[in-house]
Amino acid sequence: MGSIMIKNKDQLSTTKLRKHALEIVEAALKSVIPKKAIQKSVKHIHNKLHVNDTVYDLNNYEHIYVVGFGKSSALMAQEIEYILNKKIRKGIVISTKAVPLETIEFYEGSHPFPSKKNIAATKKLVSLIKTAGKNDLIICLISGGGSALLFYPTLPLDEYNRKMKAIFNSGADIFELNRFRKKLSKVKDGKLAKITRAKIVSLIFSDVIGDDLGTIASGPTFLDNNTFSDKNRVDNHLLLTNKIALSAMENKAKALGYSPVCLTRSLSGEASKAAKALLNQCSHGCNCGLFAGETTVNVKAEGIGGRNQEFCLGAVSHIKGDDECVIVSIGTDGQDGPGHDAAGAIVCNHTLNQAKIKGLDPAVFLEKNDAYHFFKSLDALLFTGITGSNVADIGLILKPY
């Protein structure tokens, strides 16, 4: 991924505190690169596949297939190809970021709202795992975004997306969204696992609060005890969570001289209001408050900008102008809000004055759900491009030590 992940870091580093804040966040982004997570947890030694403490003897399987879906799945597949070399018979991954692959076929899908190409790719994936027999092994690569990318609905696409957008814009959290997705899917909620007779080993990157395996990508290989008699045929391994990102932020902050405190790894609720609560937590001697999670936005207007930008916009009026402070919030996938290029935003104690000079009222932009144009006018958007990873959102509140 290179040494720089925040493309406009130098431009945004107008003070020492802002520079340090961006360096801490960048350390987190580097820590959740899919290649690193796979290398740490997956080994191939003497024809045995080691996944953390579990060992699979590959001599017991006739064929190995690889399937995947989610924003990280193509990069995960690339590393799995390297680890297993020529042992993979065939594979399919559906993702938003194309990478060079040898045996595994890549299909690009749309996110967060699915399209016809998602359906077509999912049907190919389903056809592939149907060919696998009981003596075969399927390695399933699952990551955030998989709910939209692995898409085989029971409703017509247009009708599904109308319902989905209404729920999405209402401020529903990921648990509510995925309950809807499961209900109207032929592959979610354990249904993908039931399509094949093969042994399934799922390698999972979490983007949801609490790391619930039934919620990540809507749980396509997560099987309920009451509905599936052969649970031993499916193993789900959680390899990457936001704990890794928070740990990297903590280590970098300490190296820079701060005393980091994890405020929460399960931030939720309305984005514009969440910042005030976290600022209150940092008001008593804390010079570096770290957080992770996934807030929501109740979309009432036609503006643009994702939950990280809305979070930062909600923070602007709560930062006292005389007290030096920086807040950063960013989506680890590099895309904050549907179809837009910013990953998040940065605000500091000077932001409100800068906005006033330009005639920008934060309250007006909040009312319009238009955080993107507010921060674009102030050159305060963060750009990373699509990172190929996704452990939801991370951020920090930083004050001088």
Secondary structure letter of residue 356 according to DSSP:
H
Banded model confidence at residue 94, pLDDT cuts 50, 70, 90: very high
Banded model confidence at residue 227, pLDDT cuts 50, 70, 90: low
Percent of the chain with pLDDT over 70: 98
Q: Is the pLDDT of residue 164 over 70?
A: yes
Supply the mean pLDDT for the chain: 94
pLDDT digits (tens, 9 = 90+) for 302-352: 899 999 999 999 999 999 787 899 999 999 999 998 767 999 999 999 999
Q: 9-31+243-398: which CATH topology?
A: glycerate kinase, domain 1 (3.40.1480)
Identify which of 179, 249, 242 has the alpha carbon closest to the alpha carbon of residue 214: 179
Would you say how long the chain is, in residues? 401
Banded model confidence at residue 18, pLDDT cuts 50, 70, 90: very high
**What is the C-alpha separation between 369 and 250, in angstroms, rounded?**
32
Percent of the chain with pLDDT over 90: 87
Banded model confidence at residue 129, pLDDT cuts 50, 70, 90: very high
Q: What is the pTM of this model?
A: 0.92
Q: Is the pLDDT of residue 291 over 50?
A: yes
The pLDDT of residue 293 is: 97
Q: Is the pLDDT of residue 151 over 90?
A: yes
Tell me the one-letter amino acid at 138: I
Q: Is the pLDDT of residue 2 over 60?
A: no
Average pLDDT of span 116-131: 98
| Radius of gyration for the alpha carbons in the chain, expressed in angstroms and rounded | 22
**What is the C-alpha separation between 274 and 401, in angstroms, rounded?**
24
User: Who has greater pLDDT, 281 or 150?
Assistant: 150
Q: Is the pLDDT of residue 392 over 80?
A: yes
Q: Is 394 exposed, middle or buried (0-12, 13-18, 19+ CB in 10 A)?
A: buried
Q: Is the pLDDT of residue 46 over 90?
A: yes
For the chain, helix, strand, coil in percent to 5 are 40, 20, 40
Q: Is the pLDDT of residue 229 over 70?
A: no
Q: Give one DSSP letter per residue of 156-218, joined into a string.
A: -HHHHHHHHHHHHHTT--HHHHHHHHHHTBSSTTTHHHHH--SEEEEEEE--SGGG-TTTGGG
Average pLDDT of span 178-199: 95
Q: Is 262 exposed, middle or buried (0-12, 13-18, 19+ CB in 10 A)?
A: middle
The pair of structure tokens assigned to 142 is 């699952």
Q: Is the pLDDT of residue 101 over 90?
A: yes
**What is the C-alpha separation between 13 and 217, in angstroms, rounded?**
36
Domain 34-240 has CATH 3.40.50.10180: yes
What three-state secondary structure class fits 389?
coil
Using alpha carbons only, give the angle 184, 189, 193 rounded to the nearest 5 degrees.
Answer: 120
pLDDT digits (tens, 9 = 90+) for 260-270: 999 999 999 99
The pLDDT of residue 1 is: 42
pLDDT digits (tens, 9 = 90+) for 20-29: 999 999 999 9
Count the alpha carbons within 13 Å of 64 in the hemisphere toward its beta carbon: 21
The pLDDT of residue 145 is: 93
| Domain range annotation of the chain | 9-31+243-398, 34-240
pLDDT digits (tens, 9 = 90+) for 242-256: 999 999 999 999 999
